[in-house]
């Protein structure tokens, strides 16, 4: 599944007929529709010079958390740590921002441009403990491709 998705995602991200936001939207829709354990897929980006994240394109239920201060929740922690954060069970996390009561697990992968952490891809799952190394490698690849087209 992920090999074919890499090809499709790469084609979407480098399609010149659409804006970057349109391409990211199409990518979020594709990932949510294709991967059974991806129930919400979205991008957060650093909000200008502020120490906060701002919600970008996403697929899934609307969220109230359109702005997340650095340090808050899983997303805010990744903004500071620069590390992948895989959460098999969100109930076991103290510093977690709940978006929906159906969510059981979450994965957040930072997005770097020239070594700078400028955002992240965030995925929620309604399946407990669904994420493996394969998800991490796949999402790192996605972010590296996004980094080639995104301008801060
Ligand atoms: N759960 C995230 C907040 C974002 S929503 O999942 C869309 C967090 O704890 O940072």
Dihedral sign from CA coordinates of 74, 90, 125, 141: positive
User: Containing domain of residue 96, as a range?
Assistant: 2-149
pLDDT tens track for 10-66: 999 999 999 999 999 999 999 999 999 999 999 999 999 999 999 999 999 999 999
pLDDT band of 99, cuts 50, 70, 90: confident
Domain count, the chain: 1
Query: Which residues sit with their C-beta closer than 6 Å to ligand 1?
Result: 40, 42, 63, 65, 68, 73-76, 96-97, 99, 106, 122, 124
Cα separation, 116 vs 70, in Å, equals 15
In 35-83, where does DSSP find H-type helix? 73-81
> For residue 61, is it left (φ>0), alpha (ψ between -120 and 50) or beta?
beta
Cα separation, 21 vs 43, in Å, equals 10
Report the candidate in 148, 151, 142 with the shortest Cα–Cα distance to residue 8: 142
Q: What is the CATH number of the domain that holds 24?
A: 3.30.450.40
Cα separation, 133 vs 22, in Å, equals 28
Residue 73 CA, ligand 1 centroid: distance in Å:
6
Residue 39 CA, ligand 1 centroid: distance in Å:
13
Residue 98 CA, ligand 1 centroid: distance in Å:
6
Residue 44 CA, ligand 1 centroid: distance in Å:
10
Return the pLDDT at 152: 79
Residue 42 CA: nearest ligand 1 atom is: 7
pLDDT > 70 fraction of the chain, expressed in percent and rounded: 100
CB 126 within 8 A of CB 38: no
Which of 98, 100, 107, when mutated, tests ligand 1's pocket best, judged by the most ligand atoms within 8 Å of its CB?
A: 98
Instruction: Average the pLDDT over 128-132 and give the result.
Output: 98
Return the pLDDT at 77: 98
């Amino acid at each position: 599944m992920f090999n074919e998705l890499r090809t499709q995602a790469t084609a979407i991200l480098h399609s010149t007929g659409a804006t970057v936001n349109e391409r990211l939207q199409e990518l979020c829709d594709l990932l949510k529709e294709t991967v059974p354990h991806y129930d919400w897929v979205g991008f957060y980006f650093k909000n200008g010079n502020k120490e906060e994240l701002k919600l970008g394109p996403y697929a899934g239920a609307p969220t109230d958390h359109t702005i997340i201060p650095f340090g808050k929740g899983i997303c805010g922690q990744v903004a500071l740590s620069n590390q992948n954060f895989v959460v098999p069970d969100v109930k076991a996390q103290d510093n977690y921002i709940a978006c929906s009561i159906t969510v059981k697990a979450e994965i957040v992968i930072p997005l770097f441009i020239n070594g700078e952490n400028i955002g992240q891809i965030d995925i929620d799952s309604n399946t407990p403990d669904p994420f493996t190394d394969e998800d991490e490698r796949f999402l790192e690849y996605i972010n590296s491709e996004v980094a080639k087209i995104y301008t801060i």
